[in-house]
Amino acid sequence: MTLSVLRRGPVPRTPAAAGSKLLAWPLLGTLALLLAATLLAAQFGPVAISMADWLAPWRAAHDDGSAAFSGAAHVLWQIRLPRVIFALLVGAALALAGSLTQALFRNPLADPGLLGVTTGAACAAALTLVIFASAAAPLPPAWRPWVLPVAAFCGALLVCFSLDRIARWLTPGSIAGLLLTGLAINAVTAAVIGLATYLATDEQLRSLSFWTLGSLAGAGWSLVATMAVLLALLVPFACRLARPLNALALGEAAASHVGIAVPRLRGWVVLLVALSCGAAVAWCGVIGFLGLLAPHLARACVGADLRRQLPFSMLLGGALLLLADTLARTLAAPAEIPVGIFTALIGGPAFLLMLRAAVRQQGGSV
């Protein structure tokens, strides 16, 4: 409810007025909500957190006692807080990938997961894990953490480019054609993941199930920092593409007639989608439907202008993944449910609802 009120308030009368001033209100409100959600999420969990644990860093600074970070304080500062922030960052990255994919294919039902980009990344990661595990051995130890992310990125990039080509060649401009192409790509990548599972040893199998279910359990401060740096690089660039991407909504021909170099724009967007998607998959596995839901909700709140929808859907994506992850680790505590199961359980029905809305709007056909 509050979100729709935000939309009604400062509606810009002209595109020029959609500047930073009017963007600020919904953004600031959501940021405040996110901060509150972050603190609450860190509070919840199997280990009870007291006020003193929150103040542990300040106590440690004063009496330089190593005892300050013990027990619950350690859980809070070394396990829970990085995980909560990581959820926000990964959610934002997935929402960014979703928004860009939808803008690229001019279609609110496009999603990196449905189109096979996420599973493409997971497939490449799985292959690396099982088949090329020995190939990573001669690498310097410092490079090893990067092998999986790079593989996932390459997988996402490959699927993105082939999807772009195949869908435009086979079924130009058709929503159903695009989703069916994604279905075919998903089938192929699922087969490759299956092959990797078949060839895997017991230990590798455990890591593989992590890819296919999705989990944020690997979070730590170093991953948080890496993801933050990546997003800090990607987001300003993505926001600069928002204006030409708005023009792409007119259609490719019309966009080029108003002065957009469409092939170059497509190339950049594919690269950004592959980077954000590949990073999320490399460190968290397959978390589906978030890239579909977050942009959809953002569009309902602040409208379809990408200059506002893009930042807003990233905030919402972070919030959604935080919610899902908090549920995942508290509902069956101390055991943990993979978060990808939650997003799929919520996202699947939501997709069907959106599909129904799209069909009704277009008079019975997609």
Buried b / exposed e over 329-355, threshold 16 CB at 10 Å, is: beeeeeebbbbbbbbbebbeebbeeee
- Site for another protein contains 19 (CB under 8 A): no
Minimal distance in Å, beta carbon 172 to another protein?
12
Tell me which of 1, 232, 253, 335 binds another protein, using CB under 8 A: 253
Angle of helix 81-104 relative to helix 262-284, nearest 10 degrees, comes to 150
Site string (302-331) toward another protein, x via CB under 8 A: -xxx--------------------------
SS3 content of the chain, % helix, strand, coil (to 5): 75, 0, 25
Instruction: Determine if 266 is a binding residue for another protein (CB under 8 A).
Output: no
> Which one, of 252, 116, 274, lies nearest residue 184 by Cα?
116
Q: Supply 310's token pair.
A: 């893009």
Among 133, 158, 190, 250, binds another protein (CB under 8 A): 250
Site for another protein contains 299 (CB under 8 A) = yes
Give least dist CB 147 to another protein, A: 28
Angle at 127 between CA 126 and CA 133, to 5 degrees: 100
Give the binding range for another protein (CB under 8 A) out of 26-34, 275-283, 301-309, 331-339: 301-309
Tell me if 232 contacts another protein by CB under 8 A: no
Q: Between 13 and 203, name the residue whose CB sits nearer to another protein.
A: 13
CB 314 within 8 A of CB 255: no
Q: Confirm or reject binding of residue 197 to another protein (CB under 8 A).
A: no
Q: Are 311 and 23 in contact (CB under 8 A)?
A: yes
**CB-based contact 120:100 (threshold 8 Å):** no
* Residue 42, CA distances (Å) to 290, 327, 329, 334 in order: 21, 12, 11, 15
273 binds another protein (CB under 8 A): no
Q: Is 249 in the site for another protein (CB under 8 A)?
A: yes
Q: Does 172 bind another protein (CB under 8 A)?
A: no
Q: x/- site string to another protein, residues 107 to 136, per CB under 8 A?
A: xx----------------------------
256: number of Cβ within 10 Å:
16
Identified binder of another protein from the candidate list 251, 267, 348, 349, rule CB under 8 A? 251
SS3 letters for 306-324?
A: HHHHHHHHHHHHHHHHHHH
* Contact call for residue 265 and another protein (CB under 8 A): yes
144's CB contacts (< 8 A; 6+ apart) are 136
Candidates 9, 138, 259, 334: give the one binding another protein (CB under 8 A).
259
Q: With CB under 8 A, what is the number of residues at the site for another protein?
A: 37
The footprint of another protein (CB under 8 A) covers 11-18, 106-108, 240-241, 243-244, 246-251, 253-254, 256-262, 265, 268, 299, 303-305, 361
